[in-house]
Amino acid sequence: MFNSILGFTSTTKIDLVNIANEQRILSQKITKYYSLLVLNNNLPKTKNNLNISISKFENNLTKLLTKAPFKFTNVAIKTIHNEAATWQNLKVNVLKRPTTKNYNKVIQLTNTLLKKSYLAYIALKTEATIHNNNNINTNTNLKELLSISEKQEILSERLCLYFVAQKINVTTKNAEPLIFETLQLVVEKLDYQLITLLETNINTSKTAKIINNALVVFRDIKINKTDFLDGKPSIHTIQKTTKELNKLFKALSIQYTKLITS
C-alpha cells in the first residue's frame, strides 16, 4: 500500500508533461514502422521496433491516465481520455496485417492521434507552468525556441514517415495527393525552422553547435529536394538521416530546457 502511494506522489507534474510530450513522437514512430512493414522493409527488426513503440505508447498512456488525475484538473484529464480513444482506433488498424488497402486510414488516424496527443501535452504543460510560475525563468524567447525544437523532433519522424508513405502511395491505384503535399510541407517546415533556430541571438555555444550539426545532416535533403520528393534516396539513407536529426533536436530541447530552468 505504501509503495503504491509513493508511486503516485513521486511522479511530478513535469514528469507527466514530459511523458505527454513523448507520446507525440511515439505516435509518429508507430506509423513509421507500420509503413516500413507495408513496404516489406527489414521485417524482423521493423516489426520489433513497432511492438516496442506500441508498448511504450501504451505504458505512457497508462501512467497519464492513472497518475495525472492526482495532479491536474478534469479539463486536462479529458484531453488524455480523448487521446486514449483515438489510440484505440489506430491500434486496431496497426495490429492488422500491413497492406496498402488499409494504409490511408492508418495515416488519417495517426494525424488525428498527433493532434490529440498535442492537446494533452499543451493542457498538462499549461497547468504545470502555472503551478511552477514562481520557480521557473519565464524567458519568452527561450520558451519559443524550446517549442520549435520539440516540433523539429516530431518533424524529423514525420519526414521519414511521409517519405515511406509516398513510396507506398505511388504504387497504389488511387494515389492520395495529400501524402505528397504533406511530405513537401514537412521538408519546408524543417528547413524554415532550422533557419529560425540558427538566426536567434540568444543561442549558446552548445545550442549553436547542435543547430549547425542539424543543418549539415539536413543539407543533402535540402540540396537534392526534388530527388528526395521523387523517392530516389534509399530507405536506409533516410532512416539514418532522420534518426540523426531526431537525436540532435532532442539534445537541443534538453539544452533549451536547462536554460529556461536555470
pLDDT in tens, 245-258: 999 999 999 999 99
- 107 and 165: one domain? no
End-of-domain residue from the set 136, 156, 184: 136
Task: From residue 15, give the alpha-carbon distance in Å to each of 46, 66, 67, 88, 160.
Answer: 29, 13, 10, 24, 28
Q: Closest Cα to residue 156, out of 32, 61, 48, 56?
A: 32
Same domain, 39 and 93: yes
Lowest mean per-residue pLDDT among 38-47, 181-190, 196-205: 38-47
Give per-residue pLDDT as tens, 28-77.
Answer: 999 999 999 998 876 889 999 999 999 999 999 999 999 999 999 999 99
In this prediction, residue 133 carries a pLDDT of: 56
At 262, is the pLDDT very low, low, confident or very high (cuts 50, 70, 90)? confident
Please give the grid coordinates belonging to residue 115.
493532434
Note whether 120 and 158 are same-domain residues: no
User: Total structural domains in the chain?
Assistant: 2
Lowest mean pLDDT among 1-15, 65-79, 115-129, 153-167: 1-15
pLDDT of residue 138: 56
Q: Are residues 141 and 118 in the same domain?
A: no
Same domain, 178 and 118: no
Neighbours of 58 (CB within 10 A): 14
DSSP per residue over 68-95, as a string?
GGGTS-HHHHHHHHHHHHHHHHHHHHHT
As a whole number of angstroms, the distance between CA 26 and CA 90 comes to: 13
pLDDT above 70: percentage of residues in the chain: 93
User: Is there a single domain that holds both residue 123 and residue 151?
Assistant: no
Q: Are 113 and 86 in contact (CB under 8 A)?
A: yes
Q: Which of 59-68, 91-100, 136-145 has the least mean pLDDT?
A: 136-145
Q: Which of 86, 120, 136 is the last residue of a domain?
A: 136
Residue with cell 494504409: 103
pLDDT band, very low/low/confident/very high, at 235 (cuts 50, 70, 90):
very high
Shared domain for 15 and 39, answered yes or no, is yes
Q: Which residue has the cell 502511494?
A: 5
Is residue 118 predicted with pLDDT exceeding 80? yes
Same domain, 63 and 175: no
Neighbouring residues of 107: CB distance < 8 A, sequence distance ≥ 6: 31, 165, 176, 179
Q: Examine the domain organization and report whether 159 and 227 are in the same domain.
A: yes
Q: Which residue has the cell 514502422?
A: 33
User: Both 152 and 205 in a single domain?
Assistant: yes
Tell me how crowded residue 254 is: count the other CB atoms within 10 A of its CB: 14
Q: Is the pLDDT of residue 4 over 70?
A: no
Q: What is the pTM of this model?
A: 0.89
Domain boundary among 136, 157, 191: 136
* Same domain as 161, residue 94: no
What residues make up the domain containing 6?
1-136
Does residue 140 have a pLDDT over 80? no
Cell numbers 532512416 correspond to what residue? 239
Produce one character per residue of 7-19: b if its CB has 16 or more CB atoms within 10 Å, e if not: eeeebebbebbbb
Average pLDDT over residues 153-164: 97
CATH number at residue 244: 1.20.120
Asked whether the predicted pLDDT for residue 2 surpasses 60, the reply is no
Same domain assignment for residues 168 and 110: no
